[in-house]
């Protein structure tokens, strides 16, 4: 187990810059999740940490030791691949013990460790099978088992659940959380899935276009997105972003954006309404309802209500914004804090 420190990491493939200066410090035992849109460089960053890619600039420290030039096999990290990358010609047991053999560990110790990991992951009955004879979920657990037996300094996961069906994903996600609680290793986890990020992470790193947009605990990111990108990226359905204009203060007259999450838009009496919207689509999920509406100037606005709703397409609805939950962004897209005096609703 160990901490990790990245300083000014840049990675170019030929002329294209994929990572454009990443600074990040991860504490020992922390569970950090990288999220970001497809192609933003999450996998590349993970592979750079793993040592599978060389960096163009910057340096990497594990536990205070510089490892930038060290080969992957010498860094002492373990990785779970999206494709699992199980060795197809080896049994589950051999798959898990391969790394230990490479490290020159004694046979008895290897068996003990593999058995322990297999018990933890409910793989004991499958140890003599080859990967081709396992289900997707079992393969996934073998891939994790292969990492666990190593007792590595850091676990790296690249979208490990993306090949599982929805139900299995939820189950495995919980197991992963339990696993982290149990063995407490430092884990770096790449995902597309917000729920995975929110539920698993101690801290989330939001990447975009090769840069870090924001680092913080899941609720930090949710409650105080640092910029428009994070505001739009975290949370589902997305935060409503309404174009406005500043009316007071120094920057009066410049464009700005007002953000409000769907659950913070409330239907209300006509008198106290900020806006009146027309309902375009109603999604009834049973426990909650999403209303997709348009306001003045066809500005879209999503509303989340608890429980079920009788509203229907075409209905007109006065709504108000919860004043405590307004997010304000300046013309550059950065969150305004402390909040400058803000505008009226879109006109």
Partner 1 sequence: MTDTIRSHGAPARGPSAAAAVTTGSANALMRLTDPPMRAVQRLIGALRMPYVFLLPNLVFFGLFVFLPIGINIVFSVTGGTALFPSERPYVGAEHYARLLDCGSYLEAASCREDLFWRGVGNTLTFTVFQMVAMVLFSLVTALVLNRPIRGRGFFRAVYFFPVLLSPVVVALIWKWILQRDGLLNAVLTTAGGEKILFFVDPGWAMFWAVFVSVWAHMGFYTLILLAGLQAIPRDVYEAAEMDGTRPWRVFHRITLPLLWPNLLVVLVLVLIRSVQVFDEVFVLTGGGPGTATMMVVQYIYTTAFANQVQNFGLAGAASVLLGAVLFVLTLIQLFLTRRRAS
Partner 2 sequence: MTGKLRTGKLSRLLLARRGGASWHWTDVASYAYLALGVLLMFGPVAWLALSSFKTPAALLEFPPSLLPMAQSEVSVQGYPQPLPLFRVTMEDGSVRELAQVRRVGIVAQMVDPKEPGQTIRVPADRRTPVRHMALAVENYTDPLTQFDFLRFLRNSLVVTVVATIITLVINSMAAYALSIYEFRGKSLAMLGVIGTLMIPITIILAPVYLVVTKLGFVDSLWAVILPGAATPTGVFLLRQYMLTIPRDLIEAARMDKASEWRIYARIVMPLSMPALAVLAIFSVMWRWNEFLWPLAVLTKTEVHTLPIALNAFQGELQTQWHYLLAMTVVTLLPVALVFAFLQRFITSGIANTGMK
**For residue 338, cis peptide bond before it (omega within 30 degrees of 0):** yes
Residue 64 contact, options partner 2, partner 1, ligand ATP, none, Cβ 5-8 Å cut-off depending on partner type: none
Nearer to ligand ATP, 18 or 60 (CB): 18
How far are the Cα atoms of 194, 322, 330, 340 from residue 255, in angstroms, in the given order? 30, 22, 7, 13
- Binding residue for partner 2, selected from 39, 57, 69, 103, defined by CB under 8 A: 103
Give the length of the chain. Answer: 347
Record the tokens describing residue 36, joined without a space. Answer: 């970001």
CB of 48 to partner 2, least distance (A): 13
CB 250 within 8 A of CB 238: no
Interface segment toward partner 2; rule CB under 8 A; list 69-77, 180-188, 189-197, 286-294? 69-77
Residue 81 contact, options ligand ATP, Mg ion, partner 2, none, Cβ 5-8 Å cut-off depending on partner type: partner 2
Question: Does residue 44 bind Mg ion (CB under 5 A)?
Answer: no
Supply the DSSP string of 200-256, one letter for each residue. H-SEEEEEETTEEEEEE-HHHHHHS-SBHHHHHHSSSSPPEEEEEE--SSTTTTSEE
DSSP letter at 344 equals P
Question: Does residue 89 bind partner 1 (CB under 8 A)?
Answer: yes
Residue 43 contact, options partner 1, Mg ion, partner 2, none, Cβ 5-8 Å cut-off depending on partner type: Mg ion
**For residue 183, cis peptide bond before it (omega within 30 degrees of 0):** no
Residue 15 contact, options ligand ATP, partner 1, partner 2, none, Cβ 5-8 Å cut-off depending on partner type: none
Question: Does residue 54 bind ligand ATP (CB under 6 A)?
Answer: no
* CA–CA gap between residue 34 and residue 40 (Å, rounded): 10
DSSP letter at 72 equals G
* CA–CA gap between residue 163 and residue 137 (Å, rounded): 9
Residue 299 contact, options Mg ion, ligand ATP, partner 2, none, Cβ 5-8 Å cut-off depending on partner type: none
Question: Does residue 14 bind partner 1 (CB under 8 A)?
Answer: no
DSSP letter at 262 equals G
CB of 194 to partner 2, least distance (A): 25
Using CB under 6 A, count the residues that bind ligand ATP: 12
Question: Does residue 73 bind partner 1 (CB under 8 A)?
Answer: yes
Question: Does residue 146 bind partner 2 (CB under 8 A)?
Answer: yes
Nearer to Mg ion, 43 or 257 (CB): 43
- CA 305 from chain centre, in angstroms, equals 25
- Binding residue for partner 2, selected from 57, 65, 89, 283, defined by CB under 8 A: 89
User: Rounded to the nearest 5°, which phi and psi values hold at 165?
Assistant: -75, 170
Task: Tell me if residue 153 falls in helix, strand or coil.
Answer: coil
Question: Does residue 135 bind partner 1 (CB under 8 A)?
Answer: no
* CA–CA gap between residue 208 and residue 313 (Å, rounded): 36
- Binding residue for partner 2, selected from 99, 168, 170, 268, defined by CB under 8 A: 99
- Binding residue for partner 2, selected from 27, 71, 112, 255, defined by CB under 8 A: 71
Question: Does residue 55 bind partner 2 (CB under 8 A)?
Answer: no
Cβ burial, residue 213 (10 Å; 0-12/13-18/19+): buried
User: Rounded to the nearest 5°, which phi and psi values hold at 216?
Assistant: 175, 175
Nearer to Mg ion, 43 or 172 (CB): 43
Question: Does residue 130 bind partner 1 (CB under 8 A)?
Answer: yes
Sole residue written with tokens 């003045």 = 296
Residues at the contact surface with partner 2, assessed by CB under 8 A: 47, 50-52, 71-74, 76-79, 81, 83, 85-89, 98-99, 102-103, 146, 150, 156
Residues at the contact surface with Mg ion, assessed by CB under 5 A: 43
Residues at the contact surface with partner 1, assessed by CB under 8 A: 71, 73, 88-89, 130, 132
């Amino acid at each position: 187990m160990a901490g990790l420190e990245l300083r000014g990491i840049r990675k170019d493939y030929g002329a294209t810059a994929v990572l454009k200066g990443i600074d990040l410090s991860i504490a020992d035992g922390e569970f950090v999740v990288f999220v970001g849109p497809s192609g933003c460089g999450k996998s590349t960053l993970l592979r750079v940490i793993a040592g599978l890619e060389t960096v163009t600039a910057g340096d990497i420290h594990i536990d205070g030791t510089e490892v930038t030039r060290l080969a992957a096999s010498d860094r002492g990290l373990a990785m779970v691949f999206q494709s699992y990358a199980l060795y197809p010609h080896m049994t589950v047991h051999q798959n898990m013990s391969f790394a230990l053999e490479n490290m020159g560990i004694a046979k008895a110790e290897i068996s003990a460790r593999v058995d322990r990991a297999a018990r933890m992951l409910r793989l004991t009955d499958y140890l003599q099978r080859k990967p081709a004879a396992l289900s997707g979920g079992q393969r996934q657990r073998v891939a994790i088992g292969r990492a666990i037996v190593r007792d590595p300094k850091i676990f790296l996961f690249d979208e490990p659940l993306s090949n599982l069906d929805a139900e299995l994903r939820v189950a495995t996600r919980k197991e992963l959380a339990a696993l982290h609680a149990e063995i407490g290793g430092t884990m770096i986890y790449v995902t597309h899935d917000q729920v995975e990020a929110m539920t698993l992470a101690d801290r989330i790193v939001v990447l975009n276009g090769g840069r870090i947009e924001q680092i913080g605990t899941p609720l930090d990111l949710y409650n105080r997105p640092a910029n428009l990108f994070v505001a739009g990226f975290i949370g589902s359905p997305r935060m409503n972003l309404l174009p406005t204009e500043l009316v007071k203060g120094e920057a009066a007259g410049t464009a700005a954006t007002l953000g409000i999450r769907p659950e913070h838009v409330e239907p209300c009496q006509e008198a106290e309404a900020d806006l009146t919207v027309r309902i375009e689509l109603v999604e009834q999920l049973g426990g909650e309802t999403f209303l997709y509406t348009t306001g003045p100037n066809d500005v879209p606005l999503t509303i989340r209500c608890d429980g079920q709703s009788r509203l229907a397409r075409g209905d007109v609805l006065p709504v108000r914004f919860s004043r405590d939950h307004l997010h304000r962004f300046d013309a550059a897209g950065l969150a305004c804090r402390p909040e400058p005096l803000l505008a009226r609703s879109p006109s």
